[in-house]
Amino acid sequence: MTTPMRDHLGRSIIAVTGLGVVSALGRGVEENWAKLTSGVSGIHRIERFDTEGLRTTICGSVDFMTDRETSAVDLSYAMAEAAGSEAVTMAGFSDTDFGGPLFLAAPPVEMEWRSRLALDAMDGAEREEAGYERLLEIARKHPDRSIYHTTQCSRVSEMLADRLGTRGLPITLSTACASGASAIQLGVEAIRRGETTRAVCIGTDGSISQESLIRFSLLSALSTANEDPTKASKPFSKDRDGFVMAEGAGALVLESLESALARGVTVHGLILGCGERADDFHRTRSKPDGSPIIATIRAGIEDAGLTPQDIGYINAHGTSTPENDRMEATGLAAVFGDALATTPISSNKSMIGHTLTAAGAIEAVFSILSLREGILPPTINYDVPDPKIELDVVPNEARKADIRAVLSNSFGFGGQNACLVFGRAT
């Protein structure tokens, strides 16, 4: 039997031929997968900065790649470079001459506090009064392009494009916590259009700082269960109290199945479908009837040419906030109906925290590994089930399962919703 190269709509089937990941659990696919399937938490106390006076003092930052003073741009780059290089190499391409486009989900960045304070401490200004007028006077005396680079949202993709040898102008995008999924979607669309036979899609986020933590904290989005950091992220539990900010990067090499088979490389999984829909209800909350989430899940499954019954496992958005987990369960129930009770669903965020811009890409990597290995990572810290959320969350221990398709959800502030559907390679 010959392998079909086109999907139910006559489009190129998309193969995943390379994977790379960095998270609080470690660097590389192997280390991450071993810990994830063992139920290990990567959440720890914040050591990057002084936490005195903060309501939340825990996070899933990546502290093993760069030093404490590294900017969000440089840390986001370091993780994207590690994951991107791993994925491109796994796919059998040169990691300095990939030769296809780059789609990058990266955090919005701006000047960091250490730069503002360092500038303010310099001489050269007539104005004594603190503020931007004074900093402008100082900047005219002491220009410093390296500070400007820490404020540039395109800086990471520029450096990655040179490092990995990608082609054309990379797209840097942000759809908040759905960004990683959106980057993959752009890659899928480019291959389906026939513009390229391969693309590298990366989500990265190294933006934990005092201010970013405080901003989420002021919106009451973060867990304050500081006592035992490893227990703080508890998606779908009754006592969940917010998400845990985290960092990391996920990378996938996408390729037309035709190209992958012609090259004779291993296909780790397939991307069968993408769905997206924006929400017009509120800046941080979902429409109460869940209609945008429902429409997004339906669109993803339909784009894949499947029905909910075909989905063997759901990689949840599962942030551990009261609102998200409830709305996600409501949306899934509307689409899956009775089938939801027999469809396992787990949240990687229980172990790695919420990697924000990177989450969709990291969770795509873990979804593909679940399909390839036939193992579902658990939702850890599931000790007090929420009676209002009746789901098989793969509680606390990984499970073997023979699955053929995975749904991965990503929802973000600003009404961003994206769903990806993955399939097994054979």
Partner 1 sequence: MSQTPRDVLVTGIGLVSSLGEGLDVHLARFGETEPKPSIEREDYAPYSVHTLPEIDWSKQIAKRGDLRQMELWQRLGTYAAGLALEDAGIPFDEDARSTIDMVVAAGGGERDPAVDALVMERARRSNAPETVINETLSTELRPTLFLAQLSNLLAGNISIVQKVTGSSRTFMGEEAAGMSAFYSTRSRIASGQSEIALVGSSFSAERRDLLLNFDLAELLLKEEWSPVLSRKPGADGIAIGSVGAFLVLESPEHAQKRGAKVYAKLLSAKADRGRREPQAFADRFRSLLPEGMDGEDLLVLSGASGLADHAKIETEALDAAYPKAARIAYGSLMGHSFEAHMPAGVALAAGLLASGRTARPSDPANERAQAQPARRALVTAIGHLHAEGVCALEAVS
Interface with partner 1 (CB under 8 A), residue from 280, 400, 402, 426: 280
Is 30 or 289 the residue whose CB approaches partner 1 more closely? 289
The span from the CA of 343 to the CA of 328, in Å, is 14
Interface with partner 1 (CB under 8 A), residue from 1, 4, 53, 400: 53
Window 126-155: residues binding partner 1 (CB under 8 A) = 129-133, 135-136, 139-140, 143-145, 147-148, 151-154
Strand partners, 419: 275, 409
Which of these, 99, 148, 118, lies nearest to 263 by C-alpha position? 99
Question: According to the binding rule CB under 8 A, does residue 412 interact with partner 1?
Answer: yes
Question: According to the binding rule CB under 8 A, does residue 120 interact with partner 1?
Answer: yes
Question: According to the binding rule CB under 8 A, does residue 341 interact with partner 1?
Answer: no
Nearest distance from residue 18's CB to partner 1, in Å?
A: 23
Is 282 or 388 the residue whose CB approaches partner 1 more closely? 282
Active-site hit among 59, 268, 274, 317:
317
Q: How many CB atoms lie within 10 A of CB 231?
A: 17
Which of these, 9, 44, 15, 127, lies nearest to 352 by C-alpha position? 44
Encoding tokens for residue 368?
A: 């593909």
Region of residue 107 (phi > 0: left; psi between -120 and 50: alpha; otherwise: beta): beta
Torsion over CA: 358, 362, 363, 364 (sign): positive
Count of residues interacting with partner 1 (CB under 8 A) = 83
Nearest distance from residue 90's CB to partner 1, in Å?
A: 26
3-state secondary structure string across 174-211: CECECHHHHHHHHHHHHHHCCCCCEEEEEEEECCCCHH
Scanning 116-124, 264-272, 319-327, 342-350 for contacts with partner 1 by CB under 8 A, the matching segment is 116-124
- Helix H or strand E segment including 422: strand 416-423
Window 175-214: residues binding partner 1 (CB under 8 A) = 175-176, 182, 186, 189-190, 192-195, 210-211, 214
3-state secondary structure string across 361-415: HHHHHHHHHHHHHCEECCECCCCCECCCCCCCCCECCCEECCCCEEEEEEEECCC
The span from the CA of 166 to the CA of 253, in Å, is 12
Interface with partner 1 (CB under 8 A), residue from 30, 45, 219, 390: 219
Active-site hit among 59, 201, 268, 354:
354
Is 17 or 157 the residue whose CB approaches partner 1 more closely? 157
Cα three-residue angle 224-228-232, rounded to 5 degrees: 50
Per-residue contact string for residues 7-46; x = within reach of partner 1 by CB under 8 A: --xxxx----------------------------------
Interface with partner 1 (CB under 8 A), residue from 68, 121, 338, 400: 121
Nearest distance from residue 317's CB to partner 1, in Å?
A: 16
Nearest distance from residue 82's CB to partner 1, in Å?
A: 21
149 an active-site residue?
Answer: no
Active-site hit among 177, 201, 274, 419:
177
Is 135 or 246 the residue whose CB approaches partner 1 more closely? 135
Question: According to the binding rule CB under 8 A, does residue 173 interact with partner 1?
Answer: yes
Per-residue contact string for residues 284-323; x = within reach of partner 1 by CB under 8 A: x-------x-------------------------------
142 an active-site residue?
Answer: no
Question: According to the binding rule CB under 8 A, does residue 384 interact with partner 1?
Answer: no
Encoding tokens for residue 263?
A: 């090259």
317 an active-site residue?
Answer: yes
DSSP string, 249-289: EEEEEEEEHHHHHHHTPPP-EEEEEEEEEE--S-SSS--TT
Is 214 or 401 the residue whose CB approaches partner 1 more closely? 214
Name the packing angle between helices 322-336 and 291-303 (round to 10°).
50
Interface with partner 1 (CB under 8 A), residue from 415, 421, 422, 424: 415
Strand partners, 243: 222
Alpha helix (H) residue ranges in 91-144? 113-120, 132-141
Written as one letter, the residue type at 278 is A
For residue 254, what are the contacts with CB-CB under 8 A and spacing of at least 6? 14, 15, 16, 17, 184, 187, 188, 191, 198, 199, 200, 201, 271
Interface with partner 1 (CB under 8 A), residue from 278, 289, 323, 383: 278
Window 238-277: residues binding partner 1 (CB under 8 A) = 276-277
| Residue positions annotated with a catalytic role | 177, 317, 354
